[in-house]
Amino acid sequence: MRATDLSELAAFDAVARHRSFRRASEERGVTASAISHAVSNLEARLGIRLVNRTTRSVSLTDAGAKLFAQLSPAFGDIGSALDALNRFRETPFGKVRINAPNSIAPFVFGPVMGTLIAQNPDLELEIVATDRLVDIVEEGFDAGVRLGESLREGMTAVKIKPRLRLAVVGSPAYFERHPLPRTPADLKTHVCIRNIYPSGAAYAWEFSRAGKIIAFEPTGPLSLDDHELMVEAARSGIALAYVWESRARPYLDSGHLVECLASWSAPGDWLYLYYPTRKYLSAGLRAVVDALRV
């Protein structure tokens, strides 16, 4: 098989997995037009259409689906074989793409990025921080970071640092106008920011007492999906915020924010680095796992 044939097959494999020429191009490190050209060349050589293209979607023909079903395990074996060679290198190399929630990415990667790059000069670390729910396989990531909710089958999860705790905070100016809440039930009389996901769905403020979880759902006039913006809103004195304690810590230490209901705070959440289960990990991803694991 010629090298050009293998390159075209690899381009088709990426398009088939992502159902997108753009995402395939990002994974392959070339332009979308180069991916399209490679797939077109493959189709011309085989004399059969493999991909249906429209301005909005990409789908496989029956022939394309059959080819992909046979190619996918083969490329998986090739990737595992190449990853296995990393055991013979002294230092990791190559790109590692990781997705992490924007609200927690600084606390996870801030303490380790400098050391990782300094100790592994051939490692290229690409971190994409977004609170949007991401399918790491579909979007070409090597791994992702999330809280300890259940992961889909076929994923390996590694507990990582730090363990993050959520806290209710408000400004001294706010508490000059409102009494300090003593229990979660007192929050009903306060102005509280609604925490939402990028999808718009809201999630409750959770508290814990005697092993029982208590959920409070704010109904305030302000809904935000970014913890930094929540902290700024709390600092301005307009409402209470439910944020990662680490993000609010500088303002708590300076007195610009005050924590309340600390004795009711739920235990800190463990974070997990997760990635597709496979026989071999690349040396680069293994280095990231070792740097982050508890």
Q: Do 29 and 69 fall within a single domain?
A: yes
- What's phi and psi for 269, nearest 5 deg? -85, 135
Name the token pair of 44.
Answer: 């011309």
Q: Do 15 and 141 fall within a single domain?
A: no
Report the domain count for the chain: 3
Q: Do 107 and 250 fall within a single domain?
A: no
Mean pLDDT score across all residues of the chain: 88
Mean predicted confidence (pLDDT) in 174-190: 95
Q: Do 211 and 245 fall within a single domain?
A: yes
- When pLDDT is cut at 50, 70 and 90, the band that residue 150 belongs to is low
- When pLDDT is cut at 50, 70 and 90, the band that residue 1 belongs to is low
Report yes or no: 108 and 127 within 8 Å, Cβ to Cβ. Answer: no
Q: Do 142 and 288 fall within a single domain?
A: yes
Task: Give the pLDDT confidence of 200-239 residue by residue, as tens digits.
Answer: 889 899 999 887 889 999 988 999 989 999 999 999 999 9
Give the amino acid at 22.
R
Q: Do 243 and 284 fall within a single domain?
A: no
Q: Do 7 and 61 fall within a single domain?
A: yes
Q: Do 79 and 153 fall within a single domain?
A: no
Residue 52 host element (H or E): strand 51-53
Its pTM stands at: 0.68
Q: What range defines the domain where residue 62 resides?
A: 3-86
pLDDT at residue 4 greater than cutoff 70: no
Where among 86, 104, 134 does a domain terminate?
86
Task: Give the pLDDT confidence of 264-273 residue by residue, as tens digits.
Answer: 988 788 899 9
Q: Do 191 and 107 fall within a single domain?
A: no
Cβ count within 10 A of residue 225? 19
Mean predicted confidence (pLDDT) in 139-145: 88
